Amino acid sequence: KASHSAGGPTRIAGAKIGLAQFCLSAPKTDMDNSVVIHDYHQMDKLMDEERKYILGMIKTIRQTGCNVLLIQKSILRDAVSDLSLSYLAKAGIMVVRDVERTEIEFIAKTLGCKPAATVDSFTAEKLGHADLVEEVSTSEGKIVKITGVPDSRTVSVLIRGSNKLVLDEADRSLHDAFCVVRSLVKRQFL
């Protein structure tokens, strides 16, 4: 799902796509600790340090030329904070967040990009390319559509129907058609 709550773009032409497996938020401690703040000066200093940290991460991402960022879903905490979404929107970077871990390998292979586990390993060489990335409205909600990926042999089929029974039948019919095509490719004499 594209995140444009901070006013970020919903359509990018000539996309350079990055795949992040790290959190775009302030670091958290490994153990349960508490920070005691006694006055507003300390609170301002803490907030300022958090802004500088996140801004440094966004600048690193921006320097690679990335203009579409896919962020893996985090099981421990939010993978992206509101502050980082705001900075990414100001930088003109489209954000697609909550990408499932099971989909990372497929997305990386399809888009020709490599996942980055840390912001330091996020480089221009790991970016994938596409002619257009846009958020499209459907009757069920919004989806992110990526088109014009060079050397891609992947096609997504969006099946829609009036109820679950129709969807299941369409899914079975599509599966049967794929099996016929696969058989024709394997044994050309059929």
Name the phi and psi angles at 181, rounded to 5: -60, -45
**What's the pLDDT at 19?**
94
* Angstrom distance (rounded) from CA 144 to CA 98: 12
Q: What is the pLDDT of residues 102-139, one digit of tens each?
A: 999 999 999 999 999 999 999 999 999 999 999 988 87
Q: What is the pLDDT of residues 15-66, one digit of tens each?
A: 999 999 998 888 776 667 777 888 898 889 888 998 999 999 999 999 999 9
Name the phi and psi angles at 37, rounded to 5: -115, 130
Indicate whether 1 pLDDT > 70.
no
From the list 80, 75, 156, the residue with the least C-alpha distance to 111 is 156
Please, are residues 112 and 128 in contact by the beta-carbon 8 Å criterion?
A: yes
Q: How many CA atoms lie within 13 A of 18 on its CB side?
A: 28
Model confidence, pTM = 0.80
Dihedral angle over CA of 137, 139, 140, 146, nearest 10: -30
∠ CA 93-109-131, nearest 5°, is 45
3-state helix, strand, coil in the chain (%, to 5): 35, 25, 40
